[in-house]
Amino acid sequence: MNLFCILITLALVNVSPIMTGEYANSVYITNQHIKDAFDRDPAGLEAAVLNIINGDKPMETINLILAIPETANIFLIDHDEPFIANLPEHIAIADQEKVQEAISQVTRFPKPELGPNENHENDSLLQLGEDRRRITGIATKNVLIAAIDKGRPEFLNLTEICRLFGLLRSIRFPYAVIKRVDVDHSGDYCILNSRTGRFQYRRHNGIIVEVRPVGVFREVFFDVMPILNDWYPVI
């Protein structure tokens, strides 16, 4: 067992980044597009986020394009393309372009262009990821609150709400990214699976609650709205 752990550690140390500056440039351009929409048409940006949430992309791809773009440079990234172990750069760039397309379809704003001597390298990806989350966190929170208001009291849009929770948790806690969102067939609750734990959300008496276990046989319900209000300012 110890030898196996040592071999895994060595493998991690010796994995080289597979991205070039072209990917960093695409992340920067997408950030600028997001900021432009946020400043000029925040409702349009929120509509673009909702369209991505209600599209056909799995949770991990949504996280990659809206929450944690810097993780495309890490070899242990899952993707909706089943053959991918190391995410090829052309697919990572195409993922960024999907965000640009989603924004342009709603706002009609063209994507920004780099200046003639402007270039961004891999070492800027961590900062670019933080910059993105500052804006997508606010936009996603606003979309989630609107989805909860729209769904009252039966919350027939629970899948939409839970996927938004998955994205918002990944933005808020990028080290514990949500890998999968499972909605029970009854439509009463969903389970969000992260790298560090599980989170359950449920419709209950006309509100959405987070379910937290207390001991072995007891659960406590928390209204999600006070939790959301602590995360990002409402605009």
Q: pLDDT tens digits for 147-184?
A: 999 999 999 999 999 999 999 999 999 988 999 999 99
pTM of the entire predicted model: 0.85
**Residue 68 is assigned to a structural domain of this protein:** yes
How many domains, in total, are found in the chain? 1
Is the pLDDT score of 233 beyond 70? no
**Residue 91 is assigned to a structural domain of this protein:** yes
HEC secondary structure over the chain: CHHHHHHHHHHHHCCCCCCCHHHHHHHHHHHHHHHHHHHHCHHHHHHHHHHHHCCCCCHHHHHHHHCCHHHHHCCCCCCCCCCCCCCCHHHHHHHHHHHHHHHHHHHCCCCCCCCCCCCCCHHHHHHHHHHHHHHHHHHHHHHHHHHHHHHCCCCCCHHHHHHHHHHHHHHHCHHHCEEEEEECCCCCEEEEEECCCEEEEEEECCEEEEEEEECCCEEEEEEHHHHHHHHCCCC
**Residue 209 is assigned to a structural domain of this protein:** no
Residue 19: pLDDT band with limits 50, 70, 90:
confident
**Residue 58 is assigned to a structural domain of this protein:** yes
pLDDT value at position 11?
Answer: 38
- The pLDDT of 198-210, averaged and rounded, is 95
pLDDT value at position 142?
Answer: 96
Is the pLDDT score of 67 beyond 90? yes
**Residue 84 is assigned to a structural domain of this protein:** yes
Q: For 2-6, 41-45, 165-169, which range has the lowest pLDDT when averaged over its residues?
A: 2-6
Structural domain boundaries, residue 155: 17-172
- The pLDDT of 4-9, averaged and rounded, is 40
**Residue 186 is assigned to a structural domain of this protein:** no
- The pLDDT of 195-209, averaged and rounded, is 93
Q: pLDDT tens digits for 98-153?
A: 999 999 999 999 999 998 888 888 889 999 999 999 999 999 999 999 999 999 99
Q: Name the average pLDDT for the chain.
A: 86
- By percentage, how much of the chain surpasses pLDDT 90? 68
